[in-house]
Amino acid sequence: MDFLESIHNSWKIINRSKARSFLTMLGITIGVMAVIIVMSVGAGAQSLILNQVKSMGSNLIGVLPGASEDDGPPASALGVVVTTLTYDDGKEILDKGCDCIESLTMYVSGNDSITRDDTSVNTTFTGTTASYIDVEDAAVEFGRFFSEEEEKGVAHVVVLGNEVKESLFGDQNPIGLRLRIKKINFTIIGVMEKRGVSGFQNQDDQVFVPISTAQKLLLGIDYVSLIRAKVDTAEHVEQAMDSVENILRDRHDIATGEADDFSVRSMAQGLEALSMITNALKFFLVAVSSIALVVGGFGIMNIMLATVQERTREIGLRKAVGAKSSHITMQFLIESVVITFLGGGIGILLGIFISIVVAQVAQAMGYEWDLVITISSILLGCGVSIGIGLLFGISPARRASKLNAIEALRYE
Amino acid sequence: MSITKLIQVENLTKQYENEEVVTKILHGLTFDIEKGEFVSIMGPSGSGKSTLMHILGFLDKLSTGVFSFEGRDVSQLNDDELADMRSKKIGFVFQAFNLLNRASALENVMLPMLYTDATKKERTNRAKELLTQVGLEHRMEHSPSQLSGGEKQRVAIARALVNNPQVIFADEPTGNLDSKSGLQVMKILQDLNEEGNTIILVTHEKYTAEHAKRILKIRDGLIVDDSLVTQRQLAGLNGELTK
């Protein structure tokens, strides 16, 4: 009897008790399906996040207050307030730093309600510089952004994010109108173009004020929480980072051998850290969904043990007519592998189907979602289901092969 | 050089040890069986006849003594070699038929050939030929539940013959049958013997045993009589007795 014939015979036996075989398969089907979906949706979500960050530009560098390890997040990113970075630091970097730094902007921000007459919305106000438009590659839809004079001169002007404009003014043109932030009057001079969600933040749900105004009138601080610089080409990023570090160490009087009190980061580093985090998440999810596979495996083992028990006489007979122990082992092993392979195959198909649905829905909702189904995840699904059949089938099969033929024939 | 006997047994004993309790089943049996014989092993239940059949049928191992088959010392064989002997040298017919209920008569007959090198075509042809020989050419695709007791046992006989065995062991083959079907089965066994097959019949009934040509009587693990049958029962084609 050759291998194909054994598979055919197992198929016939599985077909005999369809309901039981189906329920046995279900565990493996769900497990494999979960792994395929998690791998595909995980990769899709990862590409979505990375694409969004990439769209912010690969030639940006950021300077954050507070020291950090190379791979870890800086203290300020974890919400600790560090006050070592100032407006003058930023200006000096632009003046004396590497020529490759094209432009530079700085940020402070806070949250408060913004009031127009008796309507108010709670939103983020960002204090920044006139060069924001250039560095962030943003644009105003109508009106104008504030000037360098306004940036330095504590001007009471505000530029609205698109969403804030919508919710406060609707279709009305707000240019020249007034609104209040923290009971201070501001004149609206512009409205930003719609930018969408980028880097975990809704760019349209904020208002922009000159940095000096935000520092002195709204927040009462004299430091900045982020400096962002635009480098002319991606190749010059390293050089630019070095020059920023030198200038700041000098300005902050940091002796040789002492650690920086600030952190310089490039988008490339950020992307790397982000991929590491998202990868870890993805593998964690795969590991969790693999639990279903293990549970399914024990289900197979349970059923195969019951099958062996049920077919004791058959095993005894097969031995009496000349089957070797190895024949019996193979018979039951092939049977459990056929079940798991079938279950796994169905799981792969369902997993692919659901991944496609998820991608379609995400794309319909306007996300940049890539449908990622790799050959390797399909092969992994096949391999895992065969492996589980072998792993969890071996013990029932060996039990069958060790049955004593005489006792087995007498078994009732 | 003398012609090698098919089965030679000398001073064979069998005992089971179970948690230091030793149960002796066979106390030293000596006999030969030659090719072409039709021997009944007869004895009451508990006499050890089934144990003896299991040993002669390569399903069990002896404790002491010698058992050689075609001159080959069986006690030297390992489990796989014993399986090989079961596959090639013998065929079993059981009281309880032991057919696979979900398989057709044809598939049941082919079963022992699954463990040989025979191709599917060879298996099918051989099984069809044998089912025809036992008069079941019209029942090939029937499952055992669709067959009468006598028909089941005839399927089992066809299965026993499928690998051209040297010996057919029939363990109470008529035990579950009415007398007419029982006689039909005995008739087939007698015909097979006439064609030169060696048959060993295990039974507790004197009447059934007398269908053979020779009876080995066993009691309490010992041979108490070994003689040829003088008044042989001959089964007729339709289940009637013909003396």
B180 shares contact with chain A (CB less than 8 Å): no
**Strands A226-231 and A101-116, bridge-based pairing:** antiparallel
Most confident of A59-63, A225-229, A287-291, B213-217: B213-217
Q: Which of A356, A342, A330 has its CA nearest to residue A296?
A: A342
Q: In Å, how far is B232's CA from the nearest CA of chain A?
A: 30
* pLDDT greater than 70 at residue B243: no
A8 shares contact with chain B (CB less than 8 Å): no
Question: Mean pLDDT, to the nearest integer, of A165-185?
Answer: 89
Using a CB-CB distance cutoff of 8 angstroms, which residues of chain B are in contact with residue A1?
A: 114-115
- CB distance A123 to A285 below 8 Å: no
Q: Which of A286, A349, A372, A308 has its CA nearest to residue A33?
A: A349
* pLDDT greater than 50 at residue A49: yes
Tens-digit pLDDT profile for residues B12-24 = 999 988 888 889 9
Domains, chain B: 36-59+78-228 (3.40.50.300)
Q: What global pTM score does this model have? A: 0.73
pLDDT at position B38 is 95
Interface test with A, best of B49, B98, B143 (most A CBs within 10 A): B98
What angle (nearest 5°) sits at the alpha carbon of residue A385, between those of residues A384 and A388? 85
Question: Mean pLDDT, to the nearest integer, of B179-194?
Answer: 92
Q: Which of B81, B51, B88 has its CA nearest to residue B171?
A: B51
Using a CB-CB distance cutoff of 8 angstroms, which residues of chain A are in contact with residue B16?
A: none
* pLDDT greater than 70 at residue A356: yes
A283: pLDDT confidence band, cut at 50, 70 and 90? confident
ipTM for the predicted complex comes to 0.92
What angle (nearest 5°) sits at the alpha carbon of residue A244, between those of residues A243 and A249? 100
Which residues 89-148 of A are in CB contact (within 8 Å) with B? none
Q: In Å, how far is B238's CA from the nearest CA of chain A?
A: 30
B60 shares contact with chain A (CB less than 8 Å): yes
B117 shares contact with chain A (CB less than 8 Å): no
Q: Which residue of B has its CA nearest to A410?
A: B96
Q: Which of B60, B100, B115 has the CB atom closest to A322's CB atom? A: B115
pLDDT above 70 covers a percentage of chain A that reads: 94
Tens-digit pLDDT profile for residues B94-146 = 999 999 988 999 999 999 999 999 999 999 999 999 999 999 999 999 999 99
Tens-digit pLDDT profile for residues B39-97 = 999 999 889 999 999 999 999 999 999 999 999 999 899 999 999 999 999 999 999 99
- Helices A325-364 and A3-16 cross at an angle (nearest 10°) of 70
Tens-digit pLDDT profile for residues A207-238 = 999 999 999 989 989 899 899 999 888 788 88
Using a CB-CB distance cutoff of 8 angstroms, which residues of chain B are in contact with residue A313?
A: 98
pLDDT at position A136 is 84
pLDDT at position B212 is 94
* Assigned token pair, A401: 């092969």
Using a CB-CB distance cutoff of 8 angstroms, which residues of chain A are in contact with residue B115?
A: 1, 318, 321-324, 327
Q: How many CB pairs under 8 A join A and B?
A: 59
- CB distance A180 to A186 below 8 Å: yes
B59 shares contact with chain A (CB less than 8 Å): yes
Q: Compute, in degrees rounded to 10, the torsion defined by CA atoms A8, A11, A15, A18.
A: -170
C-alpha A369/C-alpha A286 separation (Å) is 20
Using a CB-CB distance cutoff of 8 angstroms, which residues of chain A are in contact with residue B159?
A: 321
Question: Mean pLDDT, to the nearest integer, of A335-343?
Answer: 93
Q: Which of A121, A84, A39, A125 has its CA nearest to residue A375?
A: A39
Q: Which of A386, A412, A400 has its CA nearest to residue A323?
A: A400
Using a CB-CB distance cutoff of 8 angstroms, which residues of chain B are in contact with residue A409?
A: 94, 98
pLDDT at position B1 is 41
Q: In Å, how far is B230's CA from the nearest CA of chain A?
A: 34
Q: What is the average pLDDT value for chain A, to the nearest integer? A: 87
